[in-house]
Structure 1
Amino acid sequence: VMASAIVGPEGFRRPRLGHDGVISWLTSLLWGGFYKEKYDGIITSAAHDDSECFYESLEWALGVGWADEMMAWAQRGEARKSAKHVKSIRMALKWKQFRRSGGDTICSVARHWWCEARHHLKPQLPMLAFVGPDGSGKSSVIAGVADKLSKMGLQQKFLHWRPYGVQGREDLGQPVSNPHADLPRGWLSSTVKLGVLFWDWWLASLTVLKHARAKTSLVISDRYYNDMLVDPIRYRYGAGLGLARRVFKRFPQPELVFVLVGDPEIILPRKREIPMDILSQQLVLYRNLERRLGDRGRLINVNDSLEDVIEDVFSHLKAYLRGEKKESFKADMSRHLRVAQFVPHYPSVEGISAYCRGLSKEMNLISPRSCPVITLRTELKNLSGDEELLHYPHNSRNPMSLPKDLIRDLENNVHQLDGVVFHGAYHPKIGMLRRHLTRIGIPFIFVPHDPYVPELTQHHALRKWAFWHVFEKRTIRNAVAVQLLAGEHERPLRELGFDIPTEVIPNGCELETISEIPDQVRIPGTGDRVRIQFIGRMDRNHKGLDLLVEAFGQFVREGSFNEVDLILTGNDWEDREELENLSLKLGLKDRVFFTGPRPEHSLVIHSEADVVILPSRFDGFGLCIVEAMLAARPVLVSRRAGVSSHVDDAGGGWLFEPTVEGIKDGLIQACLARLEWPAMGEANRHYVVNNLTWKQAAQKTLDMYRRHF
């Protein structure tokens, strides 16, 4: 063909007339199985004006018999008759080629079918699914994307909700005006329905859908089976969602799922099929679904114009076809969130309750109803009145048990939560709830409050070793982020092999509590006797209180500080008796005082002290030190406490290594600088007011939640 090509008037080479006629005739006939009548003229002309070339080409391709027959049709202008003999003509072509070059033909056929098998086993064109609430614009977005694909020369095969077997369904469904009108089916019929869906999806996926994707078409589904996890009432599903989740994991998976979400105030006016509260709940569940889908999910913001939404979807699709990785979703830093703090023992007198009380109050002021607290306590005492509680009273001796009502409400997202925050390391109920949230698809952030240093596991070491391997490391690994209270806590986490995102946000304090300080307050260093104060639980391992008592004994024996007393205030943590015996053994009966818990506000207790000390072997932060700084007290702090860097920046205290020698040297340095205590206390208060308030922490925390939830 190339050798006998001619140069046309426009200067381009083209096949001679005889070749052109055969090409025009056989191309559509052999590949498509049909005849194109628009080529009547060129075929008839080739049969008359270049008959020798035309006949030789037919003979070379099909043999003498078919060449004679088709030559006669062409000369009489009856080339269309060939459409009735496509199968025979194809067979003649194959037989002629086989006789001409049998080995090459066999190899070519084998390559063809191997290529076909590869394409069917792993189709090059993806299946796309679009999900979102009514009013999110799925149909319009699909139409816009389909138009762009058509311009690229890519065909599409459309589904709605399910494939409907091998034959498919011409009618892709009508708009539903009341999706929740019908009652759900019973458990048995719903389970049977899951089986039917399973069969339907796999049958179509292995046949017509795979063939379409291997050949010419992208498959686009308007809603698909996972949509039932968000809105089971629409599909009249009455069995458990946990069962549906487990079954859906065995279904064929779309390559890309576009989850269309936005603000309910924008979506609802477009379609008012469901009320605002249900729409808001669905939007949360759709976001959770997208996270659960991992790399296959794409979150699309439909607050923008339709053209922008279509362009956003199409850009994700093009990136996928180019083999690019999923881009991070650009967080909407103005979006309203609702994130629950899970603190089973809330409220209590320890630091985690104080943390959640202050954070919840300020976050709810910035963004109303954004920070509820989930508690399991049966009796609620010492509530501030500013927190929003999700109360599930649960009195069980089993440390692993959780209220069934809590699990059910989380499964149905009754509280419309965008996420949950776990507080505290090595907590049995956190380990159990983590399993449920992972199953349900609600994301969570983990705040261990303490660094994962070796000293953390010295107390109850065997129990913590078992808990670590069964629960704790899975909690860390499955979290969307780990929040740390100090930057130096990241290194121990990385040394354990975790590459999870981390966020550092320090504790804060409530400035309003300054009003708790009496008008007539002790000025540091001006009393007859110096009061070194510790406030916290009587925990010798964590808080380093055994080190403190021993160091104070050496401080008394070796120095000339006979006017210095040590006061320890707080709840017993199994260790008070041992600490008291240690102080008696060291001869400190009249110098070390254990007051137990006191009813006054902590700032009142700090205000009675000259210096406040925190000797922890390790500590997540040290909220008592922030309160002492707010009370204008100089502080002595272990370098292993998260607050130590803030004490250093404030310039109102001393840092020491958590050893007997280090604590003793710190006490000596502090007492030698007694005249500087008032100024150091004021420097501490100034630093806290400007850097460590709950208002500042709440805004940083809210921004963090918007990035990760």
Structure 2
Amino acid sequence: MLISQGSNYDGYRFADVYRRAGFAYVLLYHKATNSAVPQLFERQLVQQVYQAARRSLFVSKHNLELTQLQLGLVLPGAEVVRNPYNVPFQGELAWPASTDGITRLACVGRLFLSDKGQDVLLQVLAQDQWRQRAVHLTFYGSGPDEAAIHGMVSFLELEAQVSFVRHVADIAQVWQTHHALLLPSRYEGLPLVMVEAMLSGRPVIAADAGGIAELLDDNKTGFLAAGSTFQALNEALERSWAARSRWPQIGAEAARQVRALVPVNATELLAHKLLTIRSATSYQSGSRAGLSISAPAPAA
């Protein structure tokens, strides 16, 4: 059984059903937060569930280390895996033409303030210097805080500088027209949107959340904010703006570096790993093996 969890404690009750029934299972984690740990009444059960897992698979080293710290355990079979992405591995896109002189930024992800930090980004862009710059931000995505974020844009009178697109079928279309990715996240795993932007040859401006710093080389492949705060994000955005003439070169370096860090065949590697675990488990006496997909959908 593969239990794919949006956050690192979403699916432990699913896993416990299989643990008690004698089934082997693998836990896959897409995000970990430092603001949530198991409550006292459930802590021991969560520890038992995680210790009994055949593997604990994380999308970033940060998430693995944080979860072990929170549980006070070395998790057996814990390792970092790469999720599949949705742009070509080779051949970054041509740099977007800007006939109107506008620098176009994209913030791609769920409209979910507690994780993604869009509120902080809007406060930064509401400053006078950003209102006077030829910059346009597009939010790509939908989510539970969509109405709230629309309301913030209206309240801050940013309608001329900010637009919304709920869905695009082909993420590469975003990078044909946008110059950089903005990620003001408070919590992350390893954002696929960052991998996709870098593979497409676009610099990333992001808060240091989850595994972002494991891929983003500050001032070389993008610009890293110390955290998802007004001061930190403002500082990183100002540095990026001062270096905007170098963005095409920074994007090209981002593509080069990320290809050395993520596999060309991430889908096949993850599938092969799961099948190998299943095969090994099926020969262990006293254990029933199964492999399927369960639990909450991973966070974008």
TM-score by length of 2: 0.78
Higher Cα Rg, which structure: 1
Matched, 1:612 2:181: yes
Q: Which secondary structure does the structure 2 equivalent of 1:491 belong to?
A: helix
Matched, 1:504 2:74: no
Q: Which secondary structure does the structure 2 equivalent of 1:493 belong to?
A: helix
| 1:265-300 C-alpha deviation (Å, 9 max, x unpaired) | xxxxxxxxxxxxxxxxxxxxxxxxxxxxxxxxxxxx
Q: Which secondary structure does the structure 1 equivalent of 2:245 belong to?
A: helix
Matches of 1:681 and 1:570 in 2, distance apart?
A: 23
Matches of 2:20 and 2:39 in 1, distance apart?
A: 25
CA contact 2:8–2:32 (8 Å) conserved in 1: no
Map residues 546-557 of structure 1 onto 2, 5 A cutoff.
Answer: 546-554=119-127, 557=128
Map residues 64-463 of structure 1 onto 2, 5 A cutoff.
Answer: 420-425=2-7, 430-454=11-35, 456=36
Matches of 1:488 and 1:531 in 2, distance apart?
A: 30
Matches of 1:478 and 1:440 in 2, distance apart?
A: 12
Matched, 1:476 2:43: no
CA contact 1:508–1:694 (8 Å) conserved in 2: no
Letter paired with 1:621: L
| 1:3-34 C-alpha deviation (Å, 9 max, x unpaired) | xxxxxxxxxxxxxxxxxxxxxxxxxxxxxxxx
Letter paired with 1:434: A
Matches of 1:547 and 1:467 in 2, distance apart?
A: 35
From the superposition, tell whether residues 648 and 698 of structure 1 become closer, same or farther in structure 2 (CA, over 3 Å). Answer: farther
From the superposition, tell whether residues 530 and 568 of structure 1 become closer, same or farther in structure 2 (CA, over 3 Å). Answer: same
The Cα shift of 1:512 comes to 4.0
The Cα shift of 1:489 comes to 2.3
CA contact 2:31–2:210 (8 Å) conserved in 1: no
Which residue is equivalent to 2:196? 627
Letter paired with 1:641: G
The Cα shift of 1:690 comes to 3.5
- RMSD after superposition: 3.3
The Cα shift of 1:551 comes to 1.8
From the superposition, tell whether residues 624 and 645 of structure 1 become closer, same or farther in structure 2 (CA, over 3 Å). Answer: same
Matched, 1:537 2:110: yes
Q: Which secondary structure does the structure 2 equivalent of 1:648 belong to?
A: coil
* Structure 2 portions without partners, runs of 5+: 282-300
Matches of 1:468 and 1:609 in 2, distance apart?
A: 45
Matched, 1:672 2:242: yes
Kindly tell me the number of residue pairs found equivalent between the two proteins.
Answer: 276
| 1:141-185 C-alpha deviation (Å, 9 max, x unpaired) | xxxxxxxxxxxxxxxxxxxxxxxxxxxxxxxxxxxxxxxxxxxxx
Q: Which secondary structure does the structure 2 equivalent of 1:568 belong to?
A: strand
The Cα shift of 1:481 comes to 3.0
> Structure 1 residue aligned with 2:138, among 567, 579, 589?
567
Matches of 1:510 and 1:631 in 2, distance apart?
A: 11
Matches of 1:536 and 1:566 in 2, distance apart?
A: 13
Matches of 2:145 and 2:87 in 1, distance apart?
A: 33
CA contact 2:195–2:258 (8 Å) conserved in 1: yes
The higher relative CO (CA closer than 8 Å, separation ≥ 6) is in 2
Which residue is equivalent to 2:68? 494
From the superposition, tell whether residues 594 and 467 of structure 1 become closer, same or farther in structure 2 (CA, over 3 Å). Answer: farther
Matches of 2:131 and 2:155 in 1, distance apart?
A: 20
Which residue is equivalent to 2:207? 638
CA contact 2:153–2:162 (8 Å) conserved in 1: yes
CA contact 2:3–2:14 (8 Å) conserved in 1: no
Matches of 1:577 and 1:467 in 2, distance apart?
A: 36
Q: Which secondary structure does the structure 1 equivalent of 2:4 belong to?
A: strand
Which residue is equivalent to 1:602? 171
Matches of 1:568 and 1:697 in 2, distance apart?
A: 27
Matches of 2:231 and 2:89 in 1, distance apart?
A: 35
Matches of 2:219 and 2:276 in 1, distance apart?
A: 31
TM-score by length of 1: 0.35
From the superposition, tell whether residues 640 and 426 of structure 1 become closer, same or farther in structure 2 (CA, over 3 Å). Answer: closer
Matches of 2:176 and 2:41 in 1, distance apart?
A: 40
| 1:619-650 C-alpha deviation (Å, 9 max, x unpaired) | 00100011111111111122113132212189
The Cα shift of 1:434 comes to 1.6
Letter paired with 1:498: L
CA contact 2:202–2:248 (8 Å) conserved in 1: yes
Matches of 2:183 and 2:45 in 1, distance apart?
A: 30
| 1:532-566 C-alpha deviation (Å, 9 max, x unpaired) | 10111101111111111112213xx1457520111
